[in-house]
Amino acid sequence: MGGIRCLHRVGLIVLMMGLPLLPGAVPAQAVEISGATLFVKAPWQVELVTYYSTVGYPQPEYYITLTLDPEAGASLGRFTFRQIRGADRHFPFAPERTSAFFGRPRHGGARLPVRARFDNDSRTMTVDFPEPVSPGNTVTVSIIPWTNPMQSDTYLFDVEAFPAGPNPVGSPVGIATLRIYQNTNW
């Protein structure tokens, strides 16, 4: 069945599946085109922050922040974070230590559940939100590698957001930049 149609509110679908909505969450309508779910206004900016940026620093936290437009047209169901540049391609992530919260680093709010997985071959971290993030919210995900890269460089990560709903179509958000510096003691 082709054409464009609006799905029932994602919140209604979530409630029908027996999943709770987050307090204060406003369900969004998803747009479906030929059976695929899309954002009306996809997130278009990503911020990556770390407070530990030296080579080999053990278990640093990388904070990835996305803001959903109030008129996004769909809730955020997942995003991917894929390394596309950087001298070290062998530093592993610890997906089981991934967490998320509403707001920005050091100013965070309520926590929300996430499921994460890391594919070392493609250098891709996938973060799923079992309780989708409603439009108008800012969410930060804390991703923890075992160590920072062992070589100083500017590391680039391609970020793609996927709406909650059937057959979600990803939208490029932007490039997250991570600068890793050589530890020098003068």
Phi, psi of 140 (to 5 degrees): -120, 135
- The tokens for 19 are 């999943």
* Domain boundaries of the chain, sorted by first residue: 4-180
Sign of the torsion angle spanned by Cα atoms 114, 155, 153, 64: negative
CA 171 to chain centre: 12
Q: At a CB cut-off of 8 Å and minimum separation 6, what does 134 contact?
A: 22, 25, 26, 27, 28, 68, 75
Given this model, what pLDDT does residue 183 score? 83
- The tokens for 12 are 């209604």
Strand intervals (E) in the chain = 4-6, 31-33, 36-38, 46-49, 62-67, 76-85, 99-102, 111-112, 115-119, 124-133, 138-143, 153-163, 171-180
What's the CA angle centered on 43, arms 40 and 48, to 5 degrees? 170
Residue ranges of the chain with per-residue pLDDT less than 70: 1-30, 32, 185-186
**What CA–CA distances, in Å, run from 4 to 37, 78, 128, 168?**
10, 23, 26, 14
CATH code for residues 4-180: 2.60.40.1290
In the block, tokens 């999943």 appear at 19
Phi, psi of 138 (to 5 degrees): -110, 130
Given this model, what pLDDT does residue 108 score? 80
Residue 153 and residue 87 in contact, taking contact as beta carbons nearer than 8 Å: yes
